[in-house]
Structure 1
Amino acid sequence: MARTQGFDRDTVVRAARTLFWTTSYESASIPELEAATGLSRSSIYNAFGSKRGLFDAAVENYLDEVVRPRLQPLKADVVAPEAILDYLRGLHGAFLTLSSMPASNGCLLINAAGAPIARDPQVSRVIADYRTELHDAIARGVRAQPDSRGAAEQSRLADTVTNLVVAAFALARIDSAEAARSIETAVGIVTVAADVVG
């Protein structure tokens, strides 16, 4: 007879996600994961195979519940002209709200990119894919604006905005106000570019 889980997997993964996000994969100890999730070491290993398996589940949950909902308007079949500015202003507000996870902890995946776990090829691929997904969504938002910029200029603008967003997430843990300023710069660039050709 198969053994049934005596816990809610999503709740456990979210709790682990918060711990990994606020500390790091390396710094999150098994006792801390036990305390955060309410599971014993053996239950964590039975359910996820390892600490790394739990981290992988937390990353997938982060993408599905935190990243992709915010990007959804930029990935819609028809992207509204204001979607890119709405996305950036939403991030700006998050960075200015000191109690928010982005303001106090940046981005789980950008944080992982600067940690030893990023040397793992699978984790490295997930981080690279996340950056590509972010860039593609921003590029769609740039292209949705009603202007006459050429493809090359739109591509440069998408690259610049993506890099400013990544920089903001990297800065957030040490200076959320500076992270917010990075997003203000992105808003300014998008707005100026639209005004120039409008």
Structure 2
Amino acid sequence: MKEDLAEWFNTLYDLDVQADTFLESLETGCHLCRHANNVNRIALDFQQRHPEVAARMRVPQNEVVFQAKNVVPGSFIARDNVSNFIQWCRQDLGIQDVLMFETNDLVLKKNEKNFVLCLLEVARRGSKFGMLAPMLIQMEEEIEEEMRDQMTYGVLGMRQESQRTLSFALAYPSRARPISLCDLKNLDEL
């Protein structure tokens, strides 16, 4: 996941973030706050282009204020930047607490899993506004699309099968038999 997020950040912002130094590259909070402001900009563009769709979505609008010059990792300023990003995630994006991280999770590298999960959720939300998403999120979206297609086909296929069974039963009433439990598909097949 860190490799995918590092490649994603590098692509979006022309950075040189590596998977093995992923947390260290972001621990000042500067890149995170820049990203938050970029998501805001793309979301506002999306809102202007598609107001009817955006009306049903949570569109972030508050700019994330941060300090970018002379920020030392682990300093109060770095913690403040990270805290501002976290506040934006909670208030503007509405990310659930279960997917959030705390300042120390990044600054002191206490819980990198929560940090990575939060970034993936931010990317997921940004992709809904048309922002480039990491490969993992793109794969998730492809799988969801395939599942929707299968459900649509499955429902149509079941309807067609039901119509054929009904037609057969009407045409040959003596041959029609009641459905037994063995005829029903199991949950895995459904």
- Work out whether the TM-score is over 0.5: no
Higher RCO (CA 8 Å, separation ≥ 6 residues): 1
Larger % of helix: which?
1
